[in-house]
């Protein structure tokens, strides 16, 4: 085969095997729903992060996930900063079930 200037060449390239999708962790290890059991008063994500010893971003992501499924509620939704969160009654029941104290 002869190459001419301006013509294209097709070179076969081996395809890489498809990557296996990694399971997405929903909660940081220390921010799982059971971690919030000892917290009896409303807290900000910053306060929770200091209490649990993890990054504030990990706490914020966990709170958003818990809020999405209806286990946590925001007490100050109109605030841009210093939002306070607490577990609602459903969240308290779920934590009791996980710890073996509930139904």
pLDDT tens track for 48-71: 888 888 888 888 888 888 888 888
Residue 21 lies in a domain: no
Which comes out higher in pLDDT, residue 81 or 102? 81
How many residues in total does the chain contain? 103
| Domain carrying residue 54 | 29-98
Q: For residue 103, is it within any domain?
A: no
* 78, part of any domain: yes
How many domains does the chain divide into?
Answer: 1
Provide mean pLDDT across the span 79-94.
87
Within a domain: residue 19? no
In a domain, 24, yes or no: no
| CATH number, position 87 | 1.10.10.10
Is residue 75, in this structure, part of any structural domain at all? yes
* Residue 89 pLDDT greater than 80, yes or no: yes
d(CA 73, CA 13): 53
């Amino acid at each position: 085969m002869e190459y001419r200037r301006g013509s294209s060449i097709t070179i076969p390239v081996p395809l890489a095997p498809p990557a296996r999708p990694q399971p997405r962790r929903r909660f940081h290890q220390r921010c799982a729903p059971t971690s919030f059991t000892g917290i009896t008063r409303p807290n900000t994500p910053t306060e929770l992060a200091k209490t649990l010893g993890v990054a504030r971003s990990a706490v914020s992501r966990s709170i958003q996930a818990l809020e999405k499924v209806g286990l946590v509620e925001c007490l100050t939704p109109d605030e841009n900063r210093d939002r306070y969160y607490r577990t609602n009654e459903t969240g308290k029941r779920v934590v009791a079930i996980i710890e073996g104290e509930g139904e």
